Amino acid sequence: MSKEWTAADRLRLVAAMLPGIRDDIQNGRYSKPGRPNITSLEHILHESPEVLEAYRGECEAVLEKYERENLG
């Protein structure tokens, strides 16, 4: 992901998070502490790049896991 946190970067990350949120909903884990939720997605879409940089490591880990498991 770029340091600018472009719209494409943000959408790629949101897309990577959606399956986990769906699984959390189906398995009764939604909104448990430490789990992403809809508010997490809103932050990714709306926060400034400077704020998102503080979470870069976590975001890259989510993205890498998703791409490894789904894109081969």
CA-CA distance, 28 to 56, in Å (whole number)? Answer: 27
Q: Quick one: pLDDT at residue 7?
A: 97
* 72 pLDDT more than 90: no
Q: Which helix (H) or strand (E) holds 5?
A: none
* 69 pLDDT more than 80: yes
Distance between alpha carbon 4 and the CA centroid of its chain, in Å? 16
pLDDT digits (tens, 9 = 90+) for 8-63: 999 999 999 999 999 999 999 998 998 999 999 999 999 999 999 999 999 999 99
Tokens for 69, please give them.
């498991």
Can you give the residue ranges of every domain in the chain? 7-70
Distance between alpha carbon 44 and the CA centroid of its chain, in Å? 7
CA-CA distance, 14 to 1, in Å (whole number)? Answer: 12
